[in-house]
Amino acid sequence: MEFIITSHGNIAIGFVDTLKMFFGDNLNCHVVTLGDAGIEEFRENIEKIVSQVKNQEVMVFADLIGGTPFNEFAKRSEVFQNGFQLLGGMNLGILIEAVNLRLQGKKSDDIIENLRNMNTIACLADMQRHTNEEDE
């Protein structure tokens, strides 16, 4: 299974660099970013990656649901022959979990189910309130 990580700006590159700290260089993660070069170059880069992985199972992680990177992959969803999942709203915790589950041999449906069940944001005030309630 191939992962594609896409974003506005270089956040996807930063995420992959950080993933390499946890998992090493052999991630099977492709990165495509929408930067200053503009939408046409972004689309060309998507086409290059799609041509490489279209016959494999693919999960795409995009920074924003409904943003340009997300929408450009959504337009190409029917090109993929062996399964395609597009997820928006990625963060580092989600990516770490997804890579870890893939390394365990989990299928995309199982990965998505686990990601849906993650609490990916925590607020210190809520955590303190919960701790105080437990202490009472």
Q: Which of 62, 50, 56, 3 is nearest to 29 (CA)?
A: 3
Count structural domains, the chain. Answer: 1
Are 76 and 57 contacting, i.e. CB atoms less than 8 angstroms apart?
Answer: no
Tell me the per-residue pLDDT of 99-131, one tens digit each, with 9 for 90 and over. 999 999 999 999 999 999 987 777 788 778 877
Judging by beta carbons within 10 Å of its beta carbon (0-12, 13-18, 19+), is residue 74 exposed, middle or buried? middle
Q: Note the pTM of the prediction, 2 decimals.
A: 0.89
CATH of the domain at 125: 3.40.50.510
* pLDDT over 80 at 79, yes or no: yes
Structural tokens at position 21 = 């700290």
Closest CA to 89 of 62, 118, 114: 62
Geometric angle at alpha carbon 19, from 48 and 37, rounded to 5°: 40
Residue 68, H or E segment:
helix 68-75
Q: How far is it, in rounded angstroms, from Cα 10 to Cα 60?
A: 16
List the domain range (segments joined by +) for residue 120: 2-135
Per-residue pLDDT tens for 7-53? 999 999 999 999 999 999 988 899 999 999 999 999 999 999 999 99
pLDDT for the residue 136: 66
